[in-house]
Structure 1
Amino acid sequence: MAVLLSVNLGVPRSSPATRIGVTGIDKRPAGGPVEVRAPGPKGSGLGSGLVGDRILDGGHHGGDLQAVYAYAREDLDAWGVELGRELPGGVFGENLTTSGLDVTGARIGERWRVGADVVLEVTVPRTPCKTFAHWMAERGWIGRFTERAAPGAYLRVVAPGRIRAGDPIEVVERPDHDVTIGLTFRALGREPELLPRLLAAGTLPEEIRAKVRRRLAGAG
């Protein structure tokens, strides 16, 4: 059974890697239930989909398509072995640390029920950035993370409610295409030959669909 191991909320930290000098990538497990709701548009909405979380750079993070970020404990453990260090829940900046759920293999548009009421929809993979690299302080981190191609998944909020550590996670809807988080990440990154496959997913967010079309047309 898939389960939510922790719900993680951002703690503001100074960071020379951001244009605003501060980041909310340092996320710590919440001590109790956390309210989940759609945050609205990126840049002008509430930022995170979790009440109490902090999105400091609203121009690049948060908003409805990136309301919640999930990462699998299994992938954190694999990284921990490679890096030779313990990686607590939230260290990758994820809001949800999961267990028993194939996050990389989740299909774009797949829906998860978390706890009794909350429903989340898989939207796009995470893209590693300079802030993430500075936070991890590992040599060549962006390249290594990209090579592993286990980026975690952003989700939008379909049904609001409250969640907490220990809640079950159930995949309640799965589209009939084969466009996964892992495939999308690889196509948008180092394997552009995969880009045409992304258009087969009717649930692919329009902004990503437009990016794919531009790249296929040679417009970058």
Structure 2
Amino acid sequence: MGMEIKSLNIGLPKIQNFQQRQYRTAIDKKPIQKGWLTKNGFVNDGVANTDFHGGEDRAVCFYVFEHYKEWEKEFNRDLPLPSFGENLTVAGMDEKSVCIGDIFQIGDSVVQITQGRIPCATISQHNNVDVFLKRVIETCKTGYFARVLQEGMITNESKIILLKRHPLKISVHFTIDTFFHCMEEERIEKILQVKELANVMRNKLTKRLLKLKANL
């Protein structure tokens, strides 16, 4: 399957209910026909938890279309697009094939992949599946973020073109697997060589690397 947009989605934070509790989230995004992408994300889009989302390094959130069928089969339920709060549901661009620093043209905009998504409990709450967050982390099917190099219009029929593959070829999957499952010095050092890595992720990995070295 070639690279393509399956759904273009935006939404602002709002209050939702879960098990008689309220929480503020922007995960409940809705499909749109077209949107203007700025350095800080899509117009009329927003995030609630700035620890995990948002900022120029995490302006656009992607999730992989092919994962939907896998999750639907595992949990025996339908998952409407977008169930993960992503701006772009994309096919042909999974975490193993997309690398940190890769540059893509999408419609009139140009974006650069910056980090894998660090998911939070909102995924479980929004989809009403208690183990969803746990399974997303275990499988590294987290999705990923990008910064905007060139602002522009994106439609749900815009073409996705790979403009430049990063020479180090450190995949999103490798970074997420390292972060959650395999915190080894050599792996962290490889990731930190990618200067295009999002600053938030760089800081987290640098702290862990220093802690590992201190324990030697």
- TM > 0.5: yes
CA contact (8 A) 1:113 1:119 kept: yes
Q: Which residue of 2 aligns with 1:33?
A: 34
Indicate the percent of aligned positions where both proteins have the same amino acid.
28
Write the distance in 1 (CA, Å) between the matches of 2:104 and 2:91: 13
Q: Which runs of 5+ in 2 are unaligned?
A: none
Counterpart residue type for residue 122 of structure 1: I
Matches within 5 A, 1:65-214: 65-115=57-107, 117-193=108-184, 194-214=187-207
Q: 1:145 corresponds to which letter in structure 2?
A: V
1:9 aligns with 2:2: no
Q: Do the aligned partners of 2:104 and 2:160 also contact (CA within 8 Å) in 1?
A: yes
TM superposition score normalised by structure 2: 0.87
1:176-218 Cα shifts (integer Å, max 9, x gaps): 1131111111111121123232123232234423322221221
Change (3 A) 1:52 1:175: same
What is the DSSP-based 3-state SS (H/G/I as helix, E as strand, rest coil) of the residue aligned with 2:162? strand
SS state at 2:48 partner: coil
Letter matched to residue 34 of structure 1? G
Residues 60, 100 of structure 1: alpha-carbon distance in 2 compared, 3 angstrom cutoff: closer
- Structure 2 CA distance for aligned equivalents of residues 176 and 119 of structure 1: 18
Work out the CA distance in 2 between the residues paired with 1:144 and 1:102.
16
Would you say the 8 A contact 2:52–2:118 is kept in 1? Answer: no
Q: Given that residues 57 and 199 in structure 2 are in contact (C-alpha distance below 8 angstroms), is that contact kept between their aligned partners in structure 1? A: no
Residues in 2 aligned to 1:113 and 1:56: alpha-carbon distance in whole angstroms:
27
Query: 1:207 & 1:25 partners in 2: Cα distance?
Result: 20
Taking the aligned partners of 2:18 and 2:43, their CA distance within structure 1 comes to: 26
Q: Tell me if structure 1 keeps the 8 A contact 2:16–2:22.
A: no
Q: Which residue identity is paired with 1:95?
A: N
RMSD: 2.3
Q: How many residues align?
A: 208
- Contact 1:15–1:23 (CA under 8 A) maintained in structure 2: no
Moved over 6 A (4+): none
- Whether the 8 Å CA contact 1:2–1:98 is kept in 2: the answer is yes
The TM-score normalised by the length of structure 1 is 0.85
